[in-house]
Amino acid sequence: MRLIILAPPGGGKGTQASRLSDQYNIPQVETGKILRQAVQEGSQLGKDAKSYMSSGNLVPDEIMIEIIRNRFAEADCQAGFILDGFPRTLQQARALDKLLDEQEVELDAVIYLNVPVAVIQERLSRRRVCSDCGATYHLDTKPPGQTGICDSCQGELIQRSDDREEAIEQRLKQYSSKTEPLLEFYQDKGVLLEIDGAQSISRVESAIDTALTESQ
Ligand code: AMP
């Protein structure tokens, strides 16, 4: 399976990508996580990406395309993948097409989680993430068993710096100007599966499963 999951920030792509990764036994390639790790390690990539990320802006295309090119070269991506957070611009989508052509493989589907802006703002402001493993929680709909502690690794739960109000606004602007045009791009290729992402997590899961089965 070669999948892309596309959604506005806070649209639930991480949650669904992680589940699909288990279900199809394919790696979840999460560019936001790769970047956050680089920032934490203080690598050159992290230094280059940090200010874009904390202000809610997109990291430049050349950097992102290079990350994906390197990640695709790893053995676990040969049998498939789910891209979570990439592509986010038309330039990235065209570069991805080129990479897939070079490998003579095709995308199976682009899963688009459609979520209204009001729902996103609420979800992001109530989101908490594990500072160790990156697992995500929502204070109301997916709370941890113990307040402030990650269920899977006991790490500390924190609010991401880009989940602050000003950064959320900027991320939403970037999404509508740079990422939304991808919907038409993939619609034209006949691979876009639109899912109502405002439903509960389990309903979104079954809607994705049905759409994927029907598309095959
Ligand atoms: P995410 O965890 O997917 O919300 O990503 C967090 C931040 O990482 C984004 O707000 C961007 O600053 C950066 N980022 C992640 N993926 C990309 C991408 N494909 N292109 C540009 N910036 C990205």
Nearest residue (by CA) to ligand 1, atom 14, is 32
**Percent of the chain's residues with pLDDT above 90:** 86
Does the pLDDT value for residue 122 go beyond 90?
Answer: no
Q: Is residue 54 part of a domain?
A: yes
Please give the mean pLDDT across all residues of the chain.
94
**CATH code of the domain in which 19 resides:** 3.40.50.300
**Residue 187 domain boundaries:** 2-115+177-215
Which strands form 157-158's sheet, in the order they lie side by side? 136-138, 127-130, 157-158
Give the ligand 1 atom nearest the CA of 53. Answer: 12
Q: Is residue 203 part of a domain?
A: yes
Determine which one of 2, 36, 88, 123 is catalytic: 88
pLDDT of residue 33: 93
Q: Is residue 11 part of a domain?
A: yes
Q: Is residue 131 part of a domain?
A: no
Catalytic site residue 71?
no
Closest CA to 12 of 132, 158, 136, 170: 136
Give the ligand 1 atom nearest the CA of 87. Answer: 19
| Ligand 1 mutation pick, 59, 67, 83, 113, max ligand atoms within 8 A of CB | 59
pLDDT band at residue 166, thresholds of 50, 70 and 90? Answer: confident
Helices (H), the chain: 13-24, 31-41, 44-54, 61-72, 90-102, 117-125, 165-174, 181-188, 201-215
pLDDT of residue 141: 87
Number of domains in the chain: 1
Does the pLDDT value for residue 162 go beyond 90?
Answer: no
Cα dihedral: 73, 77, 80, 83 (round 10): -90
